[in-house]
Structure 1
């Protein structure tokens, strides 16, 4: 209820519900309640209003208001809905009123763009506050180094982790793999997969995807494909992200044949495309005016329930209208509406016009009736 009220910008009613809940049963208001409310406020209102809502919660339920439950929740919300800069500014303005813990620093350490700033924050955590970093802390700093292409620093930090008996995990190595890709060393990143096993940490799908991404960026699809085969042999199933790495390269090279082969292979392996996969494909089909392929993709979407109907239909219906495929466009539009998805106004008007020009007046009337469920204003 609070989420819906917040999404509808009915904040006065939202607070009315909270006050009523407190009066009837204060235990109904939990830290999770605060996260839901602050998330909506932060998404739709200013930073100042978000912080004001935080203090309003403190007055409402002071009993559970502590660092771990609430201050960290505020910072996490700001990181998700505002900017890391906003979150850090709020942290520095409020840190003396609360007792920051390791979780506080882990929330804020991610997302730094500058290695120097991240190191200074790390020093504040370890030297001034006396907190012992955990694997999440180290992974966040390693991520900053990798994005900054400071791979030597990243490797030194891994050595420091081991010296302090903090075991690098699969996220640590996956981050290193991604960093090596940024500096154009996909083969060295490939070796990291083997190195992981020596330390008793086995690669998962995201780790393989990071290594595959490096080869795809280097347009070495053969090497990337070998890694996919290796994944499968080890009992790991490629996911939509894996295939999208290939689709991106094939889309840039406008390779329709290999894209279609990959799509068929993807379905054959039991992996359903996501919206990104569908958009790579439907845009290529439109460029090549491949109506049969576009309709096959749509048929699979409707039958298997994957992808975004609204995004894909805009491109699909545009293609069908351009080629005056009135019957096919009408059929696709009706399937979409019957699934409960509203087409864009542009697509609807184009198809409606083509149907009228084809003297399909009865079908237009039927379409208008079906569209009425969306309260769409029909012209």
Structure 2
């Protein structure tokens, strides 16, 4: 039975109250606004005597009316007013369990744990099962806040009075946080204790945790130890674990086992999971075959996710025509392609070396009401960079800027790397400076594509200084390769003071210079009669980098 139905079944039978007039809810909310702060300011205080503005509504009280008050926008913003009304209502009326669930949800959503806690005792007086159901909400609320320690502490302090809902909630919180060992410990404690036997939901939660972390063997072992009949969700969870690991034979065998044992029949989720697995692991033909079996044998209708999984596999394999045919079929089935569908096709066109068609499809998407995002542009920009069409790649970046889209680091870095490789360093430096304005400040890799190449260009060190300043301002610092390139660049341009300063900064930071950079520095210093300075830098390097093998550096020093 669904939880909501179970709660309704637990509700006590009460006489129908007089039918409230249409204006009753606004009147109650208006009355709540007139209450002094002391009436609702202390969430743990005992109920105060009902003030006249609320007492006049007593003849119209019902569980439905209380729910309407709690769920009103006013009380959703001010949960303590809702709590005051709830406590007043329970002082003279027996409310349904759904009312307790609603007020607990509201208080927990505002982190009023202390205010919600006494309501558990009141709920327990009406029905123990409902108390356990509400207790599970506390555990889930701690988990939503990321307070795993708080969830465990709260659970352990009340474990003996809690049932399957609460035990299931703590398992879900731990699995979501990837604390699979602790989840297994709680599960094993349930088995050993025997007071609360793990149900199929508990088994499925733990199986999901194992599969999520790729521990499929542990998931298999637990599935084999099931002390209850697995349901469809259990099978689908295990099948998904197999598919993520590429164990497609085991996934298909699990489907066969499901059918042969008569536990349940595969559904659309089962087949979509299998199709995604085949597509992800480079078997688009088997993915299509799986969909045909789904429709023909099992009479199941593919949904958007199913079609997208097939299209993704075909596009990744370069079968754009096959993917286009599937898109036409999904339209005939009344399912319109979404952003993911179109993005797959764009990627497929780029995989087959057709970036112009992919760019045209991006424009067509916008005309059909599906706005492309930055991920959709990614394959087009990277393909243009791959084939050396940098002007088109830059134009695509500009188009993203006009649309207000923020490119990912990888897109900027692909363009920067291509520009640097082509020697278009002024454009690369300009793009680096523009990145913050376009919503994506450069990362270390962005600078590393440009600065070392710029160091090798005559007259490029002024730009290098500007970029290194911007780099440090962004929280990044050069590495050994970048430092060495800068030393060589300054030496090449005869700026020995700058070269020495960069070298000392590098050694101070614990970076070993390239032999070529040290040789350039020594040669430059000796050429202007500063042999002693070269020897001092060598000795300083030995002191600051004691683990560095100095043989090659010493030979260079001796040669000069």
The bucket for the TM-score relative to the shorter chain is 0.7 to 0.9
Q: CA deviation at 1:318?
A: 2.5
Cα separation, partners in 2 of 1:163 and 1:23, compared to 1, 3 Å: closer
Query: CA distance change for structure 1 residues 15 and 232 in 2, over 3 Å: closer, same or farther?
Result: closer
CA distance in 2 between partners of 1:68 and 1:267 (Å): 51
Q: Relative to structure 1, is the Cα distance of residues 32 and 316 closer, same or farther in structure 2, using a 3 angstrom cutoff?
A: farther
User: Which whole-Å CA distance do the structure 2 matches of 1:117 and 1:59 have between them?
Assistant: 27
**Contact 1:38–1:53 (CA under 8 A) maintained in structure 2:** no
Contact 2:412–2:446 (Cα < 8 Å) also in 1? yes
Cα distance in 1 for residues equivalent to 2:199 and 2:385:
48
CA contact (8 A) 2:148 2:173 kept: no
List per-residue Cα deviations over 1:94-130 (Å, max 9, x = no partner): 1243354433332332326465433212112333262
SS of 1:303's partner is coil
Tell me, yes or no, if structure 1 residue 91 matches structure 2 residue 216.
no
1:216–1:249: 8 Å Cα contact kept in structure 2? yes
Match of 2:187 among 32, 38, 58: 58
Structure-1 separation of matches of 2:209 and 2:429:
42
Larger radius of gyration: 2
Query: What residue number does 2:497 align with?
Result: 359
User: Residue 286 of structure 2 corresponds to which residue in structure 1?
Assistant: 150
* Distance (Å, rounded) in 2 between the aligned partners of 1:30 and 1:342: 44
Change (3 A) 1:204 1:309: same
Q: Hey, what's the Cα distance between the residues in 2 that align with 1:72 and 1:207? A: 31
Write out aligned runs for 1:195-214 (5 A). Answer: 195-214=329-348
Cα separation, 1, equivalents of 2:253 and 2:394: 50
State which of 237, 246, 251 in structure 2 corresponds to 1:107. 237
State how far apart, in whole Å, the 2-side matches of 1:73 and 1:277 are.
38
2:175 corresponds in structure 1 to: 35
Whether the 8 Å CA contact 1:142–1:175 is kept in 2: the answer is yes
What TM-score comes out, normalization by structure 1 length?
A: 0.73
Number of the residue aligned with 1:332:
467
SS in 2 for 1:131: coil
Superposed, which structure 2 residues align to 1:336-355 within 5 Å?
336-341=471-476, 343-347=478-482, 350-351=485-486
- Residue aligned with 2:437, SS: helix
Which structure has the higher relative contact order (CA within 8 Å, separation 6+)? 1
Change (3 A) 1:257 1:120: same
Q: More displaced, 137-146 or 279-288?
A: 137-146
TM-score, scaled to structure 2: 0.52
CA contact (8 A) 2:274 2:287 kept: no
Q: 1:17 to 1:290 in 2, by over 3 A?
A: same
Deviations, residues 174-227 of structure 1 (Å, cap 9, x unaligned): 122233335553123223223222222111111011122222222233432332
SS at match of 2:435: helix
Contact 2:316 2:347 (C-alpha < 8 Å) held by counterparts = no
SS of 1:168's equivalent in the other structure is coil
2:430 pairs with 1:296:
yes
- The CA distance in 2 between the partners of 1:182 and 1:226, in whole Å, is 19
Which is worse superposed, 290-299 or 206-215? 290-299
What stretches of structure 2 of length at least 5 have no aligned partner? 1-146, 160-165, 510-543, 546-560
CA separation of 1:254 and 1:74: change in aligned 2, threshold 3 A: farther
- 2:133 paired with 1:133: no
Change in Cα spacing, 1:65 to 1:299, as seen in structure 2 (3 Å) is farther
CA separation of 1:73 and 1:309: change in aligned 2, threshold 3 A: farther
Cα root mean square deviation, aligned: 4.0
After the TM superposition, which residues 215-294 of structure 1 pair with which residues of structure 2 at under 5 Å, given as runs?
A: 215-294=349-428
Instruction: Return closer, same or farther for 1:347/1:131 CA change in 2, 3 Å cut-off.
Output: farther
> Relative to 1, partners in 2 of residues 1:322 and 1:280: Cα closer, same or farther, differing over 3 Å?
same
Shift in alpha-carbon separation, 1:285–1:131, aligned structure 2, 3 A: same
- Change in Cα spacing, 1:334 to 1:117, as seen in structure 2 (3 Å) is same
1:350/1:200 Cα in 2 relative to 1: closer, same or farther (>3 Å)? same
Instruction: List runs of 5+ in structure 1 lacking aligned partners.
Output: 1-13, 40-49, 372-377
